[in-house]
Amino acid sequence: MDTWQRRTSQYVVVLVGVMFGYAAVYDAGMSAFEGSPVSFLHALQVVVETFTTTGFGSDAPWTTAEMNVLVIVMDLTGVVLIFLALPVLVFPLFEEAISTTVPTAAREDLENHVVVCTLTPRGETLVDELDSWGVEHLILEPDRDRAKDRYEEGYDVIHADPQSVDGLEAARLSEARCLVADDSDPVNTSTILTAKEVAEDVRTVSVVDDPARERYHRLAGADDVLSPRALLGEGLASKVTTGISTELGEAIEIGEDFEVAELPIQRNSDLVGRTIAESGVRERAGVNIVGAWFRGQFESPPSPDATLDNGTVLLVTGREAQLERLKELTMSDVRRFRRGRTVVVGHGEVGTTVSGALSAAGVSNTVMDLADDPAVDVVGDATDPDALSRAGIEDARSVILAIPDDTLTEFAILVIRDLNPGIELIARAEETENVQKMYRAGADYVLSLATVSGRMLASTILEDEEVISLDKQVEVIRTHAPGLVGRTLGEADVRARTGCTVVGVERDGAVITDLGADFRIREGDELVIAGTDEGTNRFMETLAYTD
């Protein structure tokens, strides 16, 4: 029973009780004070007329003070009950009449779609990917208010329970290409079990919060089980483990001895304070800068007059030796020869993965968390300067914030940057929209869980798209582009139209990386595209399909 029905039932019970009570009092009063006995039914009629304002004073005038007071109180009670009826009964009915009606079933011709149960921030990235590829999808949302909000935001959503047979049948699961269970572990396993009952042959993908529970997702029947938090932790740790030496452990190999890499410019690097033109990166290292992050804003290509600072992350292409030379240029003299210690704040799934990766790489680390645990070195709040001092933040080389609360992470960045202005600060973000705020607060590198999760899901579901970079700020994909066949890269104007870059073309088993404006795309070519998620999605929407 929903809130409106419960309130209505309570109101009716109170109203009937009050009316019968007044009828009994009026009946007794007419006999005792007026000397004019009436039937109980007549007394009830007088009360109903009074409360409904359909008639007053049918027995008037009353000669005694007692009866006049009783009638006055009855009149006032009737008015109060009428006003109570407005918010309890009338207003909700009007609101229901004018509110958005959310569908409860998919349209009859929907097929080969992806069923998403339910929509989380990581699911939003997946939906963007599906839209860019022209793949239809349907979101199941069991909560009516959230379903209405999603519907009004423009999502294809129905109000249905993904854990019920009726809900999945309403989503036409038997006609779908895939189901994604993206909720808590128990809800996901329940959804998978139901899905196998409705359509056993439909592929199911489940997102696991705790990797230790992956076995149970598979026992429930999930075809693929994804653990984005573990991958996020590895990605965050890699920014420290590859930063303690000049070894380039985070490059993405495109062709033979040709790679794409993200290289953060460290504090006190020789490049800090110079423009791209003044830095001479091209001449000194031989790499090609195809894009750059400036405090959370991606530019492709970056302006030669853009100033490099400690918050800049370069997206570059080149051969391994060239990237190694650039790595040397991006590192500070202080850190080049000092391994130092890393403080890991947060010991959940992401933090555990981070500390494990650091320990495996021989990087000294101190773990800090609110909860006491044998693996936690310092118990304290990440926003408390005293607790951070106990963790040795003032003397640490770097800090990784693995907190699952973006607001707390933003505040912790401000506190840490105040305590140690020169520290390398790497942060986790739950939602992509908060990444830029963390950069403004003072983070050197931020990676979003929603981005990593969405890429993992897209790479698993979409057969035609190979997402090469899952745990980076940029996305690198390998895909066919029929819409570009017969056109040169100059004619396509990929960078200007999409904000991403074609960094390589695989043709007849060989990868071509020397791409000029006059390079012409042929039938069967597979393009390697680098850029933000929005940029690569825009490429798929505008250039990947035949006009």
Give the 3-state secondary structure of 308-332. Answer: CCCCEEEEEEECHHHHHHHHHHHCE
Could you count the other beta carbons within 10 Å of the beta carbon of residue 333?
A: 11
| pLDDT score of 246 | 44
Confidence at 336, pLDDT banded by 50, 70, 90: very low
Q: Indicate if the pLDDT at residue 547 is higher than 70.
A: no
- Pick the range with the lowest mean pLDDT from 52-61, 263-272, 524-533: 52-61
How large is the average pLDDT for residues 516-541? 82
Q: Is 286 left (phi over 0), alpha (psi -120 to 50) or beta?
A: left
Kind of pairing between the strands at 157-159 and 178-181: unpaired
Helix residue spans in 133-184 (DSSP H):
144-152, 165-170
CA distance 145 to 460: 30
Q: What domains are defined for the chain?
A: 3-97 (1.10.287.70), 114-226 (3.40.50.720), 227-472 (3.40.50.720), 474-544 (3.30.70.1450)
Q: Indicate if the pLDDT at residue 89 is higher than 70.
A: no
Q: Could you tell me which residues come within 8 angstroms of residue 414 by beta carbon, excluding any fewer than 6 positions away?
A: 441, 442
Q: Chain-wide mean pLDDT for the chain?
A: 82
User: 445 and 291 in contact (C-beta within 8 Å)?
Assistant: no
Confidence at 3, pLDDT banded by 50, 70, 90: low
% of residues, the chain, pLDDT over 90: 25
* 28 alpha-carbon distance from chain centroid: 67
> Which residue bears the tokens 């004070």?
33
**Containing H/E element for 367?**
strand 364-369
| pLDDT score of 337 | 40
Q: Indicate if the pLDDT at residue 476 is higher than 50.
A: yes
Q: Which of 513, 527, 528, 531 is nearest to 302 (CA)?
A: 531
Q: Indicate if the pLDDT at residue 245 is higher than 70.
A: no
SS3 string, 226-251, reads ECHHHHHHHHHHHHHHCCCCCCCCCC
Q: Indicate if the pLDDT at residue 546 is higher than 70.
A: no
Q: Indicate if the pLDDT at residue 340 is higher than 90.
A: no
| pLDDT score of 80 | 81
Cα angle value 416/422/428 (rounded, 5°): 50
% of residues, the chain, pLDDT over 70: 87
| pLDDT score of 528 | 83
Q: Indicate if the pLDDT at residue 379 is higher than 80.
A: yes
SS3 helix, strand, coil % of the chain, rounded to 5?
45, 20, 35
- Pick the range with the lowest mean pLDDT from 152-166, 238-252, 316-330, 397-411: 238-252
Report the SS3 class of residue 267: coil
pLDDT tens for 134-151 read 789 999 999 988 888 888
Q: Which tokens in the block code for residue 545?
A: 């399909």
**Containing H/E element for 254?**
strand 252-255
Q: Indicate if the pLDDT at residue 34 is higher than 60.
A: yes
**Containing H/E element for 121?**
helix 121-132
CA distance 320 to 248: 8
**Hey, which of 55-59, 229-233, 361-365 has the most confident mean pLDDT?**
361-365
**Hey, which of 34-38, 123-127, 157-161 has the most confident mean pLDDT?**
157-161
pLDDT tens for 164-218 read 999 999 999 999 999 999 898 999 999 999 999 999 999 999 999 888 889 999 9
Establish how many alpha carbons lie within 13 A of residue 408's alpha carbon, considering only the half-sphere containing its beta carbon.
Answer: 14
On the question of a cis peptide bond just before residue 404, with omega within 30 degrees of 0, the verdict is: no
Measured on CA atoms in the order 537, 538, 544, 547, is the torsion positive or negative?
positive
**Containing H/E element for 335?**
helix 333-336
pLDDT tens for 10-27 read 778 888 888 899 889 988
Q: Which of 7, 25, 5 is nearest to 15 (CA)?
A: 7
| pLDDT score of 244 | 44
CA distance 221 to 143: 25
| pLDDT score of 370 | 93
Kind of pairing between the strands at 398-401 and 424-429: parallel
Kind of pairing between the strands at 288-294 and 341-345: unpaired
| pLDDT score of 166 | 94
Kind of pairing between the strands at 510-512 and 137-141: unpaired
Confidence at 462, pLDDT banded by 50, 70, 90: confident
- What is the value of pTM for the model shown? 0.65
Q: Which of 134, 130, 136 is nearest to 112 (CA)?
A: 136
Confidence at 335, pLDDT banded by 50, 70, 90: very low
Q: Which tokens in the block code for residue 234?
A: 């590895």
Q: Indicate if the pLDDT at residue 504 is higher than 90.
A: no
pLDDT tens for 273-311 read 888 888 888 888 888 887 787 766 777 778 888 888 776
SS3 string, 422-485, reads CCEEEEEECCHHHHHHHHHHCCCEEEEHHHHHHHHHHHHHCCCCEECCCCCCCEEEEEECHHHC
- Pick the range with the lowest mean pLDDT from 66-75, 202-211, 247-256, 510-519: 247-256
Q: Which residue type is seen at 281?
A: V
Report the SS3 class of residue 170: helix
| pLDDT score of 258 | 73
Confidence at 91, pLDDT banded by 50, 70, 90: low
pLDDT tens for 412-460 read 999 999 999 888 899 999 888 888 899 889 888 888 888 788 777 877 8
